[in-house]
Amino acid sequence: MPTSVAATRTNRVRVLLADDHPLLRKGIADMLMEHPDLNLLGEASNGQEALDKALDLQPDVVLMDVTMPVMDGIEAARRIKEAAPGIRIIGLSMHEHEDMAVKMKEAGASEYLTKTVPVDELMSAILGVCVRT
């Protein structure tokens, strides 16, 4: 993403997207960039990269896939929350099992959504975690 685009969108909710599937990441990234209230800061393809970019970019929200290589999303979420408690995390996964949602929330995620969620619900969740105190 060009720096000039990010610079013109600084008053919007700043999002980091972490998912190891390039096609899915591209689709979500395109939707985020089209939303008038969101600013996609960057993308990560594994948990370690998500951790590094979150600490560097300090997004408002990290959309975090649960199952990723190098470091899974649960551990990445835990480390992000330890180092930067103000960053909100939304777990995003193909797993619909309740135990996965519980693990992600125990790691510090504000929300847990499955990848089958409607687009408007995903966008509402991103905006919603930013208005909570």
| 3-state SS, residue 13 | strand
The domain spans of the chain are 3-128
Report pLDDT digits (tens) over 2-35.
333 343 445 789 999 999 999 999 999 999 999 9
Instruction: Specify the DSSP element, H or E, that contains 88.
Output: strand 88-93
What's the one-letter identity of residue 79? R
CATH number attached to the domain at 3-128: 3.40.50.2300
Distance CA 66, CA 97 (A): 12
According to the model, what pLDDT value does residue 43 have? 97
107, 74 in Cβ contact below 8 A?
Answer: yes
According to the model, what pLDDT value does residue 93 have? 87
Q: Judge residue 56's burial from the number of C-beta atoms within 10 Å of its C-beta, 0-12 exposed, 13-18 middle, 19 or more buried.
A: exposed
Q: Judge residue 49's burial from the number of C-beta atoms within 10 Å of its C-beta, 0-12 exposed, 13-18 middle, 19 or more buried.
A: buried
Polymer length of the chain:
133
Distance CA 16, CA 35 (A): 14
According to the model, what pLDDT value does residue 113 have? 93
**Mean confidence (pLDDT) of the chain:** 88
Distance CA 99, CA 129 (A): 21
